[in-house]
Amino acid sequence: MKTINNPSESKWKKLAERPLIKQRKLMDTVERMFYDINRKGDKAVLAFSRKFDYPAQQTLEVERETIAQAAEKVSERLKQAIALAQKNIETFHLSQREEVRKTETAPGVVCWRESRPIERVGIYIPGGTAPLFSTVLMLAVPAKIAGCSEIVLCTPPNEEGEIHPAILYTAELTGVTRIFAAGGIQAIGAMCFGTESIPRVDKIFGPGNQYVMAAKRSAQFYGTAIDMPAGPSEVLVVADQSCNPAFVAADLLSQAEHGPDSQVILLSNNKQVIKTVNKELEQQLESLPRKEFAAQALKNSKAIYFRDLDNCISFSNLYAPEHLILATENPVLLSRSVVNAGSIFLGNYSCESAGDYASGTNHTLPTSGHARAYSGVSLDSFVKKITFQQLTAEGILSLGPSIEAMAEEEELQAHKNAVTLRLGAVMAAHNQLNKENNSDETV
């Protein structure tokens, strides 16, 4: 990691930039592939899959028999771990259910909001260099809780045409309805447009590399919603003298090993901490099976010394990290100053890996600075919030004159008429009732 000593604020923006592929070239690639997928369907998806993943691929949908057999290839130890993670994720996401609360905003005017599930969702699961079956849990569990009627999963096959059994097992366990062996841009395009085999979905979820992220952005243009711009993984650690440098190094490497386009940042108000963490990085890196990926990611990463923790947090808020670890003496107090982060990990024992797998929070989080405006995936991501309003005669009387005045000023006469007619009907009914009451009294 490159070490930077107390940079001036004018340099922060440059330091907070992520390594990116040239965007014009990237988007041109996406658009060419999307064009073919939209016109040729399965034929185009299979052609791209043969080119990038499995050269002999003939079909896209994974057969039920293959899914059933996957369970036999998953160890009992891993099954128990998955079950624990599933339970915690379910518990946390069930807690996000909202009660319907009706509010009378004016006499005779009641408003409320209810959730309705998104009917058909698509889940993208990276499976190339790391089979992320944990992401199946993070996406399928809340989708099922929300009541989504169809959960479509796409994940790339390996060079032998196989999908990691843990992905298939977890998908079956969590209620995924259909699984397809397709990855990258072609998977996103297929779920966006729909093909003979892969259904068009209403919303696409899941992380991926910059190609996948670019494809998801394009999918929005063609009318398919996405969870968020979720690209290469990243972590920012703020560490002071109370941190455990070995823990910090391990957390940095846990993100660096995702791939060469990942980025990790260390901020500290203690120069010795930075030196010690760098030594730990060198030692721990040597024992990693994915050493090459992590080493490449570290080349794009930085350790920055600031004179105080306030500047560390200010820089972090500018960077808006996907994962933020506060390995400091008073992490809860420090966290009150955080305004931009996907997920925050407090203290020396709150490793980012806990959130990735089993604490219960969702690990599908905004990257590349999008945490300034986006939240991580939650139960809300899988539902629409529909508002309701019910007006009685009293309600239209209380609001009507104001609505008429506003509609008239905006020169929207039909809007005004919709209220005027109702006011007239209410007044006519009121007058008729008075007339009948007076007649009864006369008699």
- Tally Cβ neighbours within 10 Å of residue 244: 15
Q: Strand 323-327 to strand 234-239: parallel, antiparallel, or no bridges (unpaired)? A: parallel
Contact 391, 399 (CB under 8 A): yes
Residue type, position 209, single letter: N
Encoded tokens for 395? 């309600």
Q: Rounded to an integer, what distance in angstroms lies between the CA atom of residue 42 and that of residue 46?
A: 6
Three-class DSSP labels, the chain = CEEEECCCHHHHHHHCCCCCCCHHHHHHHHHHHHHHHHHHCHHHHHHHHHHHCCCCCCCCECCHHHHHHHHHHCCHHHHHHHHHHHHHHHHHHHCCCCCCCCEEEECCEEEEEEEEECCEEEEECCCCCCCCHHHHHHHHHHHHHHCCCEEEEEECCCCCCCCCHHHHHHHHHHCCCEEEECCHHHHHHHHHHCCCCCCCCCEEECCCCHHHHHHHHHHHHCCCEECCCCCCCEEEEEECCCCCHHHHHHHHHHHHCCCCCCEEEEEECCHHHHHHHHHHHHHHHCCCCCHHHHHHHHHCCEEEECCCHHHHHHHHHHHCCCEEEEECCCHHHHHCCCCCCCEEEECCCCCHHHHHHCCCCCCCCCCCCHHHCCCCCCHHHHEEEEEEEEECHHHHHHHHHHHHHHHHHCCCHHHHHHHHHHHHHHHHHHHHHHHHHHHHHHC
User: Which residue is catalytic, options 323, 352, 363, 370?
Assistant: 323
Q: Which burial class, exposed, middle or buried, applies to 190 when counting CB atoms under 10 A from its CB (0-12, 13-18, 19+)?
A: buried
Out of 93, 322, 363, 370, which one is annotated catalytic? 322
**Terminal Cα-to-Cα distance of the chain (whole angstroms):** 98
- Across the strands, what pairs with 265? 236, 302
Query: How far is residue 300's CA from residue 256's CA, in Å, rounded to a whole number?
Result: 10
Q: Is 322 among the catalytic positions?
A: yes
Say how many CA atoms lie within 13 Å of 407 toward its Cβ. Answer: 15
Q: Is 164 a catalytic residue?
A: no
Give me the active site residues, please: 322-323
